[in-house]
Structure 1
Amino acid sequence: MSDDVVGRLSFLDRYLTIWIFAAMAVGVGLGTVAPSVTRPIQGYHLVEIGLILMMYPPLAKVDYGKLPTVFRSTRILGLSLVQNWLIGPTVMFALAIVFFGGVVPGLPARPGFFLGLVFIGMARCIAMVLVWNDLADGSSEYAAGLVAFNSVFQIFTYGVYVWFFALFVPELLGLEGLAAGIDAFDITPMQVFQAIAIFLGIPFAGGILSRIVGTRTKGVAWYEETFVPTISPVTLVALLFTVIVMFAMQGERIVGQPSDVLLIAVPLTIYFVVMFFVSFAMGRGIGADYSTTTAIGFTAASNNFELAIAVAVAVFGVGSGVAFTTVVGPLIEVPVLLGLVNVALYFQRTYDWRGYTTGRLGSPAGDPPKGGD
């Protein structure tokens, strides 16, 4: 992994995987030594409060004024829609079926892990994608526009996607064992929609209000350069708090079955890699330049783990296998996506991007593209 790429990450982002591992260890130790400590946390709904705080900074960072950027380029919008809302969910669903659907000999149905992957796959990235895109010299304009679009779009579609892939399709395919296991969770579409309304709706409204008030009273420069960096660590703190509590409640299980983390990591790694290469190929295939291709590629290859964790905890509880699966997500995403940043930079150096349509809106094809030879 390139030292230059790692060096450009913030201190918190650079060691995110280590922080999560440390939080897991603290949680397991806490659950073993003092398991009763989780009771007051649950009683005061501290986890739910932490999850809302976890979702707030990414949504406050989004510049929703970038939406016209996406809508002015119908090709990029269409490609992003296909990648994020058709290919991505389908690929994750297929991986969830293969690994946890009970269709492969030797791999029994694991409804909790299956639902966890579905929750992850349906949540499109709105936060870390901006980090990966920046490290890979992608178009910040398109990345911001696509993130803004996905932020709004998933409010209205996430519940529908979870219902369709988690509850409807398994029965449609005749996967009786998996469907029966899912039914045992007694999950209803209304539970999912209620969780989205709380854990995405509240921070989404707060994020928009913060941007409107902050930029109008203090200016855009203050908001982007002072306010956003100040609130950014809240996401990590809230995430680590959630991880500690979750693993405190599942300490005995984690110690007894450490292979579960590795088992969940396999389909997640496959998903990130497949989505990146497919999306990158599609972007180059429509004639987009390097910076635009990179932006749409990382947008499609990343996921909104904050949302997946929040909904899983709200619907199934902190100690559920579904919530456990979702929290493994960021643990795997960080090292894999950092590796893909280096792959993208390799593509930038290796391929001739001259003649491809530039990511700068309104510029004609043939302009010197970002990163071209």
Structure 2
Amino acid sequence: MGVFERFLSLWVGLAILLGVAAGTLAPDAFAVVASWEYAHVNLVVAALIWLMIYPMMLQIEFSAILEAGRRPKGIVLTVIINWLLKPLTMTLLAYLFFEFLFADWVDPASAKEYIAGMILLGVAPCTAMVFVWSQLTKGDPNYTLVQVSVNDIIMVFAFAPICALLLGLNDIYIPWQTLLLSVVLYVILPLAAGILTRRALQPEALGKLSKAIKPWSILGLLATVVLLFAFQADVLLNSPQIIVMIAIPLLIQTYGIFFIAYGIAWKLRLPHNIAAPACMIATSNFFELAVAVAISVFGLHSGAALATVVGVLVEVPVMLSLVALANRSRAYFPTSQDGN
């Protein structure tokens, strides 16, 4: 493991501090960068995430993808956690904290909006960053692609009805451009680039390329963290108490879902290179979609939009801690893929 990966948590911590400082000192500059978006997808962040994903896509083999269907347990685990357990537990935690535990500190109207934002996060499973978490846990790239693809297909049909049910709304506006653009940017294009690269290079040259671009993947992650925290520096500094109140149930949800999914994966005897990415997918969120829906339905300056932004801010540090935990517990999982 290289120096970047070995001390990744430290670099991310420094990136967070750098982002907050830069966003405070030069807010206008980062406001311009934040405005470079299409369909609520920031193009600079998209490029950086693409840089993180591409090295993993170099490892994708179509012949191996077909084998994933013969090992359905990891896919079933991902679907059940993402589309049954996670939305329900997020809804219960949101109501518990903002209707009861925090009721004396938050006005009822704001509380309902915070709850709505948290529910939107709970119903939006990750599409992009999970490839990074899978790579950091040495996950099976072919199986991870199948898991993400299944989630994307389900999301097209299930996201709106589940949101409408849990939010008690008759109609949920779905920004289809955000959903489809994200799938194209974070799955289809890097996958196509990876396939074309594999076909163009000999195995030895491909290995050298993979080794050469690996540090750039980590740098892309760090640059993404800097930008995300710079974009929201004013929120962090101006509303710290609200940030903390929203972050508490989100942290409980994130760690709770991971440990539940990881425990089930261990019980099912899933190999670690399938179990870890499956649990990362179940734990992380599609924050672009959640933020876009919150803004579209409740408004840019609503409590719902703020709650989704807090989800963005806590995700990277929390997921890195779970990556470290997953890597340390590798020995407790089988290496064989028989029957899975």
User: What is the TM-score when the length of structure 1 is the normalising length?
Assistant: 0.68
- Return the letter of the residue paired with 1:20: I
Distance 1:77 1:165, change over 3 A: closer
The match for 1:72 among 62, 70, 73 is: 70
Deviation, 1:302, is 3.4
Partner in structure 2 of residue 209 of structure 1: 192
Question: Is residue 227 of structure 2 the alignment partner of residue 245 of structure 1?
Answer: no
Q: Does 1:164 align with 2:164?
A: no
Larger relative contact order (CA 8 Å, sep ≥ 6): 2
Aligned mate of 1:150, from 147, 153, 160: 147
Query: Matches of residues 30-45 of structure 1 in structure 2 within 5 Å?
Result: 30-31=26-27, 40-41=32-33, 45=37
- 1:110 corresponds to: 111
* Equivalence for 2:46: 52
SS in 2 for 1:153: helix
Give the C-alpha shift of residue 345 in structure 1: 6.5
Q: In structure 1, what is the equivalent of residue 336 of structure 2?
A: 360
Letter in 1 for 2:44: G
Q: Is 1:270 matched up with 2:264?
A: no
Deviates most, 156-165 or 79-88? 156-165
Given residue 68 of structure 2, which amino acid in structure 1 is its aligned partner? Answer: V
Mark the CA change 1:318 to 1:204 in structure 2 (over 3 Å): closer, same or farther: farther
Match in the other structure for 1:189: 173
What TM-score results when the alignment is normalised by the length of structure 2?
Answer: 0.74
Cα shift readout 1:110-144 (whole Å, capped 9, x = no counterpart): 3553344334332235234225524xxxxx33xx2
CA distance in 2 between counterparts of 1:55 and 1:217 reads 23
Q: Say if 1:294 and 1:344, in contact at 8 Å, map to a contact too.
A: yes
- Counterpart of 1:90 in structure 2 is 88
Instruction: Please give the alpha-carbon distance, in whole angstroms, between the structure 2 residues aligned to 1:343 and 1:298.
Output: 11
- Does 2:137 align with 1:133? yes
CA distance in 1, matches of 2:212, 2:125: 28
Secondary structure in 2 matching 1:22? helix
1:207, distance to aligned residue in structure 2 (A): 0.9
The answer to whether the 8 Å contact 1:20/1:331 transfers is no
Residue in 1 that maps onto 2:182: 199
Per-residue CA shift, 1:157-189, capped at 9, x if unaligned?
Answer: 335444234333221xxxxxxx6xxx9xxx853
Distance 2:36 2:328 in 1: 49
- Distance (whole Å) between structure 2 residues aligned to residue 206 and residue 164 of structure 1: 28
**Structure 2 letter corresponding to 1:260:** I
Whole-Å separation in 2 of the counterparts to 1:234 and 1:147: 20
Q: Do the aligned residues in 2 keep the contact of 1:97 with 1:114 (CA within 8 Å)?
A: yes
Q: Distance in 1 between matches of 2:299 and 2:42?
A: 10
Distance 1:53 1:13, change over 3 A: farther
Does the 8 A contact of 1:54 with 1:234 survive in 2? Answer: yes
1:327, 1:129 → 2: CA distance?
20
Give the Cα–Cα distance (whole angstroms) in 2 for the partners of residues 126 and 64 of structure 1: 18
Q: Paired residue for 1:234, among 215, 220, 223?
A: 220
AA at the equivalent of 1:149: V
- Work out whether residues 70 and 76 of structure 1, in 8 Å CA contact, stay in contact via their aligned partners in 2: no
In 1, the alpha carbon distance for the partners of 2:90 and 2:299 equals 23
Q: Distance in 2 between matches of 1:318 and 1:58?
A: 29
Return closer, same or farther for 1:296/1:30 CA change in 2, 3 Å cut-off.
same
Distance in 1 of aligned mates of 2:179 and 2:81: 22
Aligned residue in 2 for 1:371:
none
Residues 326 and 55 (structure 1 numbering): CA distance in 2 closer, same or farther, change over 3 Å? farther
CA RMSD in angstroms, aligned pairs only: 4.0
Are the counterparts in 2 of residues 265 and 328 from structure 1 also a CA contact under 8 Å?
A: yes
Q: What's the CA shift for 1:152?
A: 1.8
The equivalent of 1:279 in structure 2 is 261
| Equivalent-residue separation in structure 1 for 2:232 and 2:303 (angstroms) | 10
Deviation track 1:231-269 (CA, whole Å, cap 9, x = no partner) reads 55335424533432343xxx2x54442112211221221
**Aligned partner of 1:264: which letter?**
I
Q: Is the 8 A contact 2:34 2:231 kept in 1?
A: no
The question of whether the paired residues in 2 share the 8 Å contact of 1:309 and 1:327 is answered with yes
1:123 paired to 2:125: yes
Residue 176 of structure 1 is matched in structure 2 by: none
SS at match of 1:148: helix
Provide structure 1 residue ranges, at least 5 long, that are not aligned to the other structure.
Answer: 135-139, 172-178, 366-373
Seen in structure 2, the aligned counterparts of structure 1 residues 336 and 82 have a Cα distance that, compared at 3 Å, is same
Do the aligned partners of residues 262 and 128 (structure 1) sit closer, same or farther apart at CA in structure 2, a change above 3 Å counting?
A: farther
CA contact (8 A) 2:287 2:311 kept: yes
| Contact residue 305 and residue 326 of structure 1 kept, 8 A | yes
Quick one: distance in 1 between partners of 2:133 and 2:249? Answer: 20
